């Protein structure tokens, strides 16, 4: 994949990613609730989608009919989206300030949140819902695309594979899946390559186009999301990522699915994320 990004765009995206990670971190330590590891692994991908010119949307009109749709199976990474949506002007900052309080914005997406296209929390649905949205776009003759992000551990859900086959059989070349392959579930390492076979092999066997990239390289991410309008089949971008990316002691640590750092850890992490000490 040839890089399509100019240095300025990459630098802008890197800057946004640092900012998003820091905001996610501060919200998490303030509320003592959040999923830092799996949010940090997909932050660069989310930033590229929303700030890298990949998705077509109108921040002033989040329900614009011609928008691309973004679905996410791993909705527990919502804090990154909340901060991006506030930054883009889609979501009120005051609403985000209620995060973690009784009755406030919670640990998942739902349709009451501007920017959210579906309710999240139950794994294995995003590809199927995405297939329905992509099918509706075809029936209506709309040239919109649907992006659906899932986790690699989530790929154990059998329903995903029903949807994978359906999307290929119906030629849904307007459906783009993204696997945040951070190789960690809540309690274990995800090593499908050693067991049932590589994820990319399975997807290609199901007649999906598959692009495997470094999920923390904006050059690679932007390259993988290029030429989407010339696809002839559904596309899965498998992004190899690091759970806890950006904080050295969290990276690849099984503990950091939903742990909250201690006072000493907060200082170290904040410094590494570029926050004020």
Partner 1 sequence: MTVDIRDAFFDRVYEFAAKDKNVVFLSADADAFSLQKFKRDFPDRYINVGVAEQNMVTVATGLALAGKNVFIYAILPFVTMRCYEQIKFNICGMNLPVTIVGVGVGYSFEFDGPSHHGVSDVGIMRMLPEMTLCNPATPLCAASYAQQAYESSTPVCVRLDKGPLRELYSVGDTFSRGMNLVRGGTDLCIVATGREVQRSFELAEILEGKGVTVGILDVHRLKPIDSSAFLSEIAPYERIVTLEENSIIGGLGSAVAEILVDNGVFKPLKRCALPDVQCLKYGKREWLQRQYGFDTETLVTSMEEWMGLSGGTDAK
Measured between alpha carbons, how far apart are the two ends of the chain, in Å?
40
Stretch that binds partner 1, among 41-49, 132-140, 208-216, 252-260 (CB under 8 A): 132-140
Size of the site for partner 1 (CB under 8 A): 31
DSSP 148-180: EEEETGGGG-HHHHHHHHHHHHTT-TTEEEEEE
Residue 170 binds partner 1, judged by CB under 8 A: yes
With binding defined as CB under 8 A, does residue 128 bind partner 1?
yes
Question: Contact between 195 and partner 1 (CB under 8 A)?
Answer: no
The per-residue b/e assignment along 9-41, b for 16 or more CB within 10 angstroms, e otherwise, is bbebbeebbbbbbbbbbbbbbebebbbbbbbbb
Q: Which of 135, 199, 206, 213 binds partner 1 (CB under 8 A)?
A: 135
Q: In the sheet where 69-72 sits, what is the strand order?
A: 69-72, 146-151, 175-181, 235-240, 209-214
Using the rule CB under 8 A, give the single segment among 3-11, 92-100, 138-146, 182-190 that binds partner 1: 138-146
Report the number of secondary-structure helices (H) and strands (E) in the chain.
9, 5
Among 136, 205, 267, 271, binds partner 1 (CB under 8 A): 136
Taking contact as CB under 8 A, which single stretch among the options 83-91, 95-103, 164-172, 251-259 is the one that binds partner 1? 164-172
What minimum distance in Å lies between the beta carbon of 247 and partner 1?
Answer: 32
Kindly state whether residue 165 participates in binding partner 1, applying the rule CB under 8 A.
yes
Dihedral of CA 81/183/189/208: which sign? positive
> Which positions touch partner 1 (CB under 8 A)?
110-111, 117-119, 121-122, 124-125, 127-137, 139-140, 146, 158-159, 162-163, 165-166, 169-170
């Amino acid at each position: 994949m040839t890089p399509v990004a100019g240095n300025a765009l990459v630098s802008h995206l890197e800057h946004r990613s640092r900012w998003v990670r820091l905001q996610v971190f501060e919200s998490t330590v303030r509320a003592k609730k959040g999923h830092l590891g799996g949010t940090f692994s997909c932050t660069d991908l989310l930033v590229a989608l929303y700030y890298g010119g990949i998705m077509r949307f109108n921040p002033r009109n989040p329900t614009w009919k011609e928008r691309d749709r973004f679905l996410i199976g791993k909705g527990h990474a919502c804090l990154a989206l909340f901060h991006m949506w506030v930054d883009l002007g889609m979501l009120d900052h005051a609403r985000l300030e209620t995060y973690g309080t009784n009755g406030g914005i919670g640990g998942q997406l739902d349709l009451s949140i501007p920017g959210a296209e579906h309710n999240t929390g139950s794994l294995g649905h995003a590809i199927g819902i995405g297939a329905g949205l992509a099918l509706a776009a075809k029936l209506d003759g709309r040239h919109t695309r649907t992006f659906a992000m899932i986790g690699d551990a989530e790929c154990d859900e059998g329903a995903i594979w029903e949807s994978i086959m359906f999307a290929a059989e119906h030629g849904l070349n307007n459906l783009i899946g993204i696997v945040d392959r951070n190789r960690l579930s809540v309690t274990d390492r995800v090593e499908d390559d050693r067991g049932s076979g590589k994820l990319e092999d399975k997807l290609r066997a199901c007649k999906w186009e598959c692009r495997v990239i470094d999920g923390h390289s904006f050059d690679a991410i932007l390259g993988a999301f290029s030429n989407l309008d010339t696809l002839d089949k559904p596309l899965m971008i498998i992004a190899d990522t690091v759970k806890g990316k950006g904080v050295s002691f969290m990276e690849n640590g099984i503990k950091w699915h939903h742990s909250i750092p201690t006072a000493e850890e907060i200082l170290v992490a904040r410094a590494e994320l570029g926050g004020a000490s």
